[in-house]
Amino acid sequence: AGLLVGGMSMGTAKAADLGGDCCADLEERVADLEATTVRKGNRKVSLTLSGQIDKQIMYMSDDRSSRTIAGVDNINSSTRFLFSGNAKITSSVTAGFEMMMEWSGSSRSDKINQVTTLGDNWNLTNSSGDGSLSVRTANWWLEDKALGRVTVGRVNIQGPASIIDISGGDVQLVAWSNPSLQGGGLYLAADGGGNFYSNTLGNLAPYCYGCSREEGIRYDSASIGGLLLGAYWGEQDRFSVQARYAGEFAGFQIAAGAGYQHDNNLATTGVSKRTDVEQQAYALSVKHIATGIFVQANTGKTNWKLLNNVSGKSDGTMWQVQGGIAKNWFGPGVTALYGEYGRAEGYASDTAAADPVTGVATSLGGTITSDSVDYYGLGVTQKIDAAAMTLYLGWRHFDPKISVNGVDRPLSEIDTVIGGARIQF
């Protein structure tokens, strides 16, 4: 029967022996797997692949027409994938990298418009078909636990603060603080269903505070009691600084941000023309933890010292506020209900007003002497934690106003409705 060892006979032990032909078979199997598996270049630097798909159905309407498009890429948080990794140099110093690719298809929520005639020059951004990949970020970084992180390459720059979303329900997926990312390509239309003009909703509200990406060098401090400091310098002498804070007090979450950006750009389309512009923006968000009630807002200003070598353009100013409640009432994840209101003014003033896109009605041509747009909206998001997914539905109403050469030009109001989902991997 064999010698018993710990209640198991030697014959039984032999069946669990890893010697002999067993290891040879295992090594052969490992070699087969390595030959058919994508591998990273070395074992010193980790590699992570992550990303997301974010697609929606978008409805748009004005006095002249309405349109619904399915499969639109949500540029509030676009479809993308990311390669990232790091390696520890010492106990306090780490090196790493990031390369993010974005899907640049033809149907983007910031580009599509009301025109539907195929072949029309004004419809080029609406054409279907294959898209392409573009590089959002590509950089390396060095980080010290006490001194912070330095990043070199194509980065998300520091700068003026956009709304800081502390809802916990991904409200910024559907209602991000730059309204032109949803419907910015929509042409302004004459009130009552007249001509479309080539000026767009995005011309009146183009602000994108703190969201630019450029090649350069960026610094992020380590946390100082919840306070994070940052700075960036890069192409065309673009310079920015930012401060952000997050903390909890007496049952409330609080987040705040402030930033400044200076661009000194030389455009070389035809004759070289310089644009010298300063931006500043501030954000404050508060959430009551127990109830899930939240309010989040930001305000910003853009000052053009020079625009194409010409001084005197009026400032662009904006403000917006969002509020609602976000809690996990049903089990799958947080549900957020929100409302919002915002206003932009002066961003298109002192620029050219363009002729009509179609028709023969009175031209809008001339110089825009004043402009504004008020907008408000409602929406809901639903997180599905088990699938790393967020469903969203939101409506916005825009009331644009413009005067050309001192004469008011009544414009149609615009409505957009978006519904879709983001799933992360």
The answer, yes or no, to whether residue 295 has pLDDT greater than 90, is yes
Would you call 361 helix, strand, or coil by DSSP? coil
H helix or E strand, kind and range, residue 69: strand 66-73
pTM of the entire predicted model: 0.85
> Is the pLDDT assigned to residue 197 strictly greater than 90?
no
Tell which phi-psi region holds residue 365, choosing left (phi > 0), alpha (psi between -120 and 50) or beta.
Answer: beta
pLDDT at res. 416 = 97
- Lookup result for tokens 């959430």: 287
Taking the C-alpha atoms of residue 113 and residue 414, their distance in angstroms, rounded to an integer, is 12
Contact of 380 with 393, CB cutoff 8 Å: yes
Structure-block tokens of residue 269 = 């389309």
| pLDDT value at 15 more than 70 | no
Least confident segment among 246-250, 265-269, 347-351: 265-269
Q: Residues near 41 by Cβ (< 8 Å), separated by ≥ 6?
A: none
417 token code pair: 């409705």
> Is residue 117 within 8 Å of residue 123, measured between CB atoms?
yes
What confidence score (pLDDT) does residue 357 get? 66
pLDDT score, position 278: 95
Cβ count near 309 (within 10 Å):
13
Q: How far apart are CA 107 and CA 113, in angstroms?
A: 10
pLDDT classification of 337: cutoffs 50, 70, 90: very high
Pick the more confident residue, 3 or 278.
Answer: 278
pLDDT in tens, 210-257: 788 999 999 999 999 999 999 999 987 899 999 999 999 999 999 999
Concatenating the DSSP letter of every residue in 5-42 gives ETTEEHHHHHHT---THHHHHHHHHHHHHHHHS---S-
What type of residue sits at position 191?
Answer: D
> How many Å apart are CA 76 and CA 20, to the nearest integer?
59
pLDDT of residue 363: 58
pLDDT for 13: 43
Q: 20: which residues sit within 8 A by CB, 6+ positions away? A: none
In whole angstroms, what separates CA 175 from the centre of its chain?
11
Q: pLDDT tens digit string along 34-53?
A: 666 666 778 899 999 999 99
Quick one: average pLDDT of 354-360?
Answer: 62
Model pLDDT, residue 392: 98
Alpha carbon 4 to its chain centroid, in Å, reads: 67
CA–CA separation, 363 vs 199, rounded Å? 12
Distance CA 169, CA 381 (A): 6
Q: Environment class of residue 347 by beta-carbon count within 10 Å: exposed (0-12), middle (13-18) or buried (19+)?
A: buried
Res 77 pLDDT > 90: yes
Residue 33 pLDDT level (bands cut at 50, 70, 90): low
The single-letter DSSP state of residue 281 is E
> What percent of the chain has a predicted confidence (pLDDT) above 90?
63
Strands 80-88 and 66-73: unpaired
Over residues 89-95, the mean pLDDT reads 97
Give the tens place of pLDDT for each residue, 174-183.
Answer: 999 899 999 9
Q: What is the mean pLDDT of residues 267-280?
A: 78
> How far apart, in whole angstroms, are the C-alpha atoms of residue 34 and residue 18?
21
pLDDT exceeds 50 at position 7: no
Closest CA to 367 of 354, 379, 382: 354
Give the chain's mean pLDDT: 87
Q: What is the dihedral of CA 81, 103, 109, 51, to 10 degrees?
A: -10
pLDDT band, very low/low/confident/very high, at 116 (cuts 50, 70, 90): low
What whole-number distance in Å separates Cα of residue 198 and Cα of residue 122?
8
Residue 308 binned pLDDT confidence (cut-offs 50, 70, 90) = confident
Contact 205, 177 (CB under 8 A): no
Confidence of residue 111 (pLDDT cuts 50, 70, 90): confident
In DSSP notation, 149-202 reads EEEEEEEEPP-S------SSS-GGGTS-S-GGGTTTTPEEEBTTT-PEEEEEHH
Instruction: Give the pLDDT band of residue 123 (cuts 50, 70, 90).
Output: very low
Query: What is the rounded average pLDDT of the residues 401-412?
Result: 91
